[in-house]
Amino acid sequence: MSLLEMEVERQSNPVDMIEFVAANNDWSFERSGEDEIAMTVEGKWADYHVSFSWMEEFEALHLACAFDIKVPESRVNEVIRLLSHINGQVLMGHFDLWRQEEVIIFRQSLLLAGGAEPTNQQVEVLLSNALDACESYFQAFQFVVWSGMDAQRAVDTVLFETVGEA
């Protein structure tokens, strides 16, 4: 028997923990199915549409965080270059272009192999990491999509740090 063929009985659905954390933080959410939950979280630059999905076959809790920047066909190649620049700097998770809707999404998974259950702290860190990444790079996507800026300049612009006080 392969290690991957072992059946593990789970105590609860990991999406239940997401619902618990959302309720404790007074976040509005919609449980669209047993294995899915969605919410909208307000950020500094945009409202982020966050969905969590339990993927039983991989024993992973998948997070997808999208924001409303439609990528026109004329900017797709530069957005792909931007994704490459950004993903090289992101430690956990990654950005992707969801071609079906032509929007940018941030994706990350929490592996829960062997029957591991997520903690509320893990869920909060997963969500916090996604929102921090989206907030950090949102403007770079705006610059490339709406201002016609090239990917390298957009990344350099948003990562510019001010030192000292004026």
Q: Give the tokens for residue 111.
A: 């592996």
Question: Across residues 40-69, what is the average pLDDT?
Answer: 92
Q: What is the pLDDT of residues 105-160, one digit of tens each?
A: 999 999 999 888 898 899 889 999 999 999 999 999 999 999 999 999 999 998 86
pTM of the model: 0.85
Q: What is the pLDDT of residues 68-94, one digit of tens each?
A: 899 999 999 999 999 999 999 999 999
Helices 151-158 and 120-146: crossing angle in degrees, nearest 10, is 130
Which CATH number is associated with domain 14-165? 3.30.1460.10
Q: Is the pLDDT of residue 1 over 50?
A: no
Q: Is 131 left (phi over 0), alpha (psi -120 to 50) or beta?
A: alpha
Residue 2 binned pLDDT confidence (cut-offs 50, 70, 90): low
Least confident of 12-26, 31-45, 58-72, 127-141: 12-26
Distance CA 79, CA 156 (A): 15
Q: What is the per-residue pLDDT for 152? A: 94
Q: Where are the domains of the chain?
A: 14-165
Q: What is the per-residue pLDDT for 67? A: 86
Q: What is the per-residue pLDDT for 4? A: 52
